[in-house]
């Protein structure tokens, strides 16, 4: 699945090398994705790769007409991209593709997005040491780091960088243990 997302993302960035055009199309695709998620019943159809193609096309057409009635028009490029996803039964990957293209844009601009989640507040010293490690690993990039508290982790820490996740939390360890004993 990740390989398919990577391929669509790379194809998108190769087709639309001009950043302004690429960003405009990406924003349109994101609006389509957000509209599907908000619609409710349609979101199941949208996110289910087994949905009948005719139904997917009908939902896209309905949203497109609704937007046109409000003065918003979807670019030809966005329409073609969505059509390709529908034809290949990959419309459910649109949200992940959008995220991956934005990640590629950030890397091209010299940014690395890095987030740290922990069950409790992390000390400033520890935060600074994490940032220093990332700066050593990516010396030619600007590191954008966010720190969040996530009580669901119970204990431990979760690192996210672009599409990579390193989960060192107690909740993930308990989940793995539960799977091992229940199977």
Asked if residue 78 lies in contact with residue 29, where contact means CB atoms within 8 angstroms, the answer is yes
The pTM of the full predicted model, rounded to 2 decimals, is 0.63
pLDDT tens column, 110-152:
888 888 999 899 999 999 998 898 889 888 888 888 999 988 8
User: Cβ–Cβ contacts within 10 Å for residue 112, how many?
Assistant: 19
- Which is higher by pLDDT, 10 or 48? 10
């Amino acid at each position: 699945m990740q390989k398919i997302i990577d391929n669509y993302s790379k194809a998108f960035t190769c087709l639309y090398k001009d950043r302004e055009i690429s960003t405009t199309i990406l924003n349109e695709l994101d609006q389509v994705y957000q509209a599907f998620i908000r619609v409710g019943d349609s979101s199941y159809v949208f996110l289910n790769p087994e949905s009948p193609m005719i139904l997917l096309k009908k939902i896209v057409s309905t949203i497109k007409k609704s937007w046109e009635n409000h003065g918003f028009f979807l670019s030809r490029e966005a329409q073609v991209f969505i059509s390709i996803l529908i034809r290949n039964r990959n419309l459910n990957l649109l949200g992940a593709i959008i995220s991956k293209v934005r990640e590629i844009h950030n890397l091209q601009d010299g940014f690395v997005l890095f987030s740290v989640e922990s069950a409790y507040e992390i000390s400033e010293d520890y935060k600074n040491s994490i940032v220093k490690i990332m700066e050593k690993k990516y010396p030619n990039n600007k590191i954008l780091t966010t720190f969040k508290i996530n009580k669901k982790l119970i204990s431990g820490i979760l690192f996210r960088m672009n599409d990579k996740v390193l989960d060192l939390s107690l909740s993930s360890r308990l989940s793995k243990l539960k799977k091992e004993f229940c199977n």
